[in-house]
Amino acid sequence: MTAGESFRVDFHAKVLDERIVTRAKARGLDALVYAPHFTRLSDVRERAARFSDDDLLVVPGREVFTGDWRNRRHLLALGLDDPVPDFITLDDAMDEFDRQDAAILAPHPEFLNVSVSAGDLAAYRDRIDAVEVYNPKHWSHHNRRARELADEFDLPGFTSSYAHLAGSVGEAWTEFDRTFDSADELVAALREGVPRRIVRRSGWDHDLRCAAEFAHLGWENSYEKIDRLFLSGMEPTHPDHIAYDDRFESVY
**Per the confidence metrics, is the pTM higher than 0.75?**
yes
List the end-to-end C-alpha distance of the chain, in Å, as a whole number.
Answer: 43
Q: Residues 95-100: contacts with CB within 8 Å, 24+ apart? A: 97/127, 98/127
Secondary structure (3-state) at 221: coil
Indicate the domain borders of the chain.
2-244
Write down the pLDDT at residue 2. 67
Q: Which of 156, 170, 169 is nearest to 199 (CA)?
A: 170
Hey, CA dihedral for 115, 119, 124, 128, is it positive or negative? Answer: positive
CATH topology of domain 2-244: TIM Barrel (3.20.20)
- Give the C-alpha separation, 145 to 135, whole Å: 12
Write down the pLDDT at residue 231. 44
Q: Which residue has the higher pLDDT, 90 or 222?
A: 90
Write down the pLDDT at residue 205. 81
Q: What is the pLDDT of residues 46-79, one digit of tens each?
A: 999 999 999 999 999 999 999 887 788 999 999 9
Write down the pLDDT at residue 137. 80
Q: What is the pLDDT of residues 137-163, one digit of tens each?
A: 877 898 999 999 999 999 999 999 999
Write down the pLDDT at residue 230. 45
Residue 156 near residue 150, CB atoms below 8 Å: yes
Q: Which of 196, 117, 116 is nearest to 160 (CA)?
A: 196
pLDDT class of 221 with cuts at 50, 70, 90: low
Q: What is the pLDDT of residues 8-50, one digit of tens each?
A: 999 999 999 999 999 999 999 999 999 998 999 999 999 999 9
Mean pLDDT of 194-203: 93
